[in-house]
Amino acid sequence: LNKRFGPNMMLFDMGVDIRANTTAVEIRRAIDEADKLFDIVMISERIDESLILLKELLCWDYSDVVFFTKNARRDDMKPHMSEAATEKLRELNSGDVLLYDHFLSKHERIVNKYGIAKMANEISLLNGARQKMFDDCGVRVVNKSEAAGTLFKEYSDQVNGYAVDTNASPNCLLLSLPELAVLTRLKADAAKLLGKDKDKKPKK
């Protein structure tokens, strides 16, 4: 295995010691442990449903789970993968397939229990909140060349980004900025807060 990339990267990211001789029993044990550890595991292609379940679990509002899609390849940049290639990838990543299938099945059971019609209505409300935020922020969809030289330049020309006026609200900026720009801003804000707390003297 490469030190950074190789088969079963989802299990690797969970801290599972992935080896060439890792057995299915060991993988099942790791999946069971993850199931006990996490109250919710979100499924990327069922992200709206996952966010609604997260909102319910944490007693949040729609505004707390509004997001703009990032790092998603444009349709014209998505390669076609043959059925043979797909099956080969599933074979090479059989541990991740077990992990994914387990939590997808669990997700579907929870959604069914939550109520299919209720979930559809919740997703409609979430989409409405997302569109309202998009409109209120005055968001513009931009490609890499259009965003060149600005905070909104994405890492790749295969994805579109978003741009807002630089004097937009903090929420609008954080929703629109690329990942690295968001992290830089959050780290700077955290450093300022920590610096202020450091300067505070205890009351006598």
pLDDT recorded at residue 131: 96
In a shared domain, residues 129 and 187:
no
Give me the number of domains the chain comprises. 2
Q: Which of 3-17, 40-54, 94-108, 158-172 has the lowest mean pLDDT?
A: 3-17
Is residue 204 in some structural domain? no
pLDDT at 11: 92
Asked whether residue 183 carries a pLDDT value surpassing 70, the answer given is yes
Residue 202: inside a domain: no
CB 6 within 8 A of CB 18: yes
Do 100 and 37 lie in one domain? The reply is: yes
Do both 90 and 148 map to the same domain? no
Q: What local confidence, expressed as pLDDT, does residue 1 receive?
A: 46
Over residues 187-196, the mean pLDDT reads 86
Greater model confidence, 202 or 44: 44
Q: How far is CA 181 from CA 158, 175, 188, 196, in A?
A: 18, 11, 11, 23
The yes-or-no verdict on residue 197 having pLDDT over 70 is no
Q: Are residue 21 and residue 119 in the same domain, yes or no?
A: yes
Give me the domain span that covers residue 132. 6-137
Distance in Å from the first CA to the final CA of the chain: 58
Q: Which of 137, 152, 181 is the last residue of a domain?
A: 137
Q: Is the pLDDT of residue 75 over 70?
A: yes
pLDDT of residue 202: 57
Condensed to tens digits (0 to 9), the pLDDT of residues 115-132 reads 999 999 999 999 999 999
Assign residue 18 a region (left: φ > 0; alpha: ψ between -120 and 50; beta: otherwise).
Answer: beta
* Whether residues 117 and 148 fall in one domain: no
Out of 101, 116, 137, a domain closes at 137
| 133 vs 135: CA distance, rounded Å | 5
Domain identity same for 93 and 144: no
Task: Indicate whether 70 belongs to any domain.
Answer: yes
Residue 129 and residue 142 in one domain: no
